[in-house]
Structure formats: C-alpha cells, structure tokens
C-alpha cells in the first residue's frame, strides 16, 4: 500500500517567501513539503496505481496565474489546529479539484466529504499554541508572496517517517 495525493507544486521563490509561524506547540511544515493539495487519495494498493495514473491523465485545465496571499486556519480561530496561507483564484483550483474527482469516480472514489478550500498548510498546532497561532494570523493577514503560473499538477507519494512525512513525485500532469 502507498499513500497518494494530488497537489500543485510551489516554485522556490514562493516557498522561500512564506512566513514561518513560531511558538510553543507549533510544528511547521518543512519548505520542501509545501504545496497546494488538490485531492488526498489515501492508501492505494500498488497494483492500482497504473489505472489511477491513467485516470489523472484525462484531467485537463488551462494554465493560470495564482496569487499567494493572506492567512487562515482550520477549523476556526478558537481552535486553530492548522495554519495556512491562502491562494487565489480559488475557483481555478476548485475546477481542477472537481475534474480530478470526476476522473476518479469510475475507480470507486466517492466525493470528498469536506468542502475544498485551496491553501498552503504552513504549520500544525497543539492546544498550547493558540496565542502564538492567533498572533501569526493577525500579523500576516495582509501577507502576499506574489504570483506564479499553475501549468501542471502532481501525484505525490507520502512516505511516513519518524521525522515526518516525505513527499516523492510519482507523476506530473499538465
């Protein structure tokens, strides 16, 4: 079994421009792991990956310019478990997400239960990090890292290690 997800890679100039939250109880995402998740696929039997890749090859979209700006959290400011940086235009990312969902439906994938919200996760927090997390959200509310061109998406394998997940590019789709 392998863990897979689809995402948009971030160019170096964007990854390096993102603010890094600090404080007790905040675990930041390493710069090499920063991305915009499109669809988490979960644990897949290795022998099913060829049909998955084939389905993803049917997903097409017109390239577009994305803007990285603003901050937010999940699930809410009272319990900021995930800190993120926003991306626009959300509708363009949503369109790719829904095309991926449509391509995966014949393979038995049901619709994602949560509403899709494109973002870049920069940190995860524990119960002790609320003050630092809310401070980060306020300090970087007007943050902007600039623009980049979205011309492709990636199928990543997520390899869980003691030091944290490692993401390996499986295939690229444009």
Q: pLDDT per residue over 66-76, tens digit each?
A: 999 999 999 99
Catalytic residue list contains 35: yes
Range of the domain at 42: 2-173
CATH code for the domain in which residue 87 is found: 3.90.1140.10
Catalytic residue list contains 117: no
What does pLDDT average to over the chain?
A: 96
Q: What is the largest CA-CA distance in the chain?
A: 47
Element of type H or E holding 100: helix 90-104
Q: Which of 36, 6, 171 is nearest to 104 (CA)?
A: 6
Residue-wise pLDDT tens digits, 139-172 = 999 999 999 999 999 999 999 998 889 999 999 9
Q: Domain count of the chain?
A: 1
For residues 20-43, give the mean pLDDT.
95
- Chain centre to alpha carbon of residue 111: 17
Q: Which of 13, 117, 119, 128 is catalytic?
A: 119
Q: Which of 13, 35, 117, 128 is catalytic?
A: 35
Pairwise CA distance, residues 141 & 134, whole Å = 10
Q: Provide the edge-to-edge strand list for the sheet that holds 153-161.
A: 35-44, 2-9, 153-161, 164-173
Residue-wise pLDDT tens digits, 79-102 = 999 999 999 999 999 999 999 999
This prediction's pTM = 0.94
């Amino acid at each position: 079994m392998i863990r897979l997800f689809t995402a948009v890679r971030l160019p170096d100039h964007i990854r390096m421009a993102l603010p890094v939250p600090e404080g007790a109880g905040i675990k930041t995402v390493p710069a090499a792991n920063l991305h915009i998740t499109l669809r988490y696929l979960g644990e897949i039997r290795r022998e099913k990956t060829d049909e998955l890749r084939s389905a993803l090859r049917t997903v097409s979209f017109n390239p577009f310019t994305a803007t990285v700006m603003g901050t937010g959290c999940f699930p809410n400011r009272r319990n900021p478990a995930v800190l993120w940086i926003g991306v626009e235009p959300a509708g363009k990312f949503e369109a790719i997400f829904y095309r991926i969902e449509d391509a995966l439906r014949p393979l038995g994938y049901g619709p994602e239960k949560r509403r899709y919200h494109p973002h870049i996760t920069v940190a995860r927090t524990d119960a002790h990090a609320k003050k630092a997390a809310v401070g980060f959200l306020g300090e970087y509310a007007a943050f902007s890292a600039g623009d980049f061109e979205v011309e492709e998406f990636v199928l990543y394998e997520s390899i869980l290690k003691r030091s944290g997940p490692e993401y390996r590019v499986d295939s690229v789709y444009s």
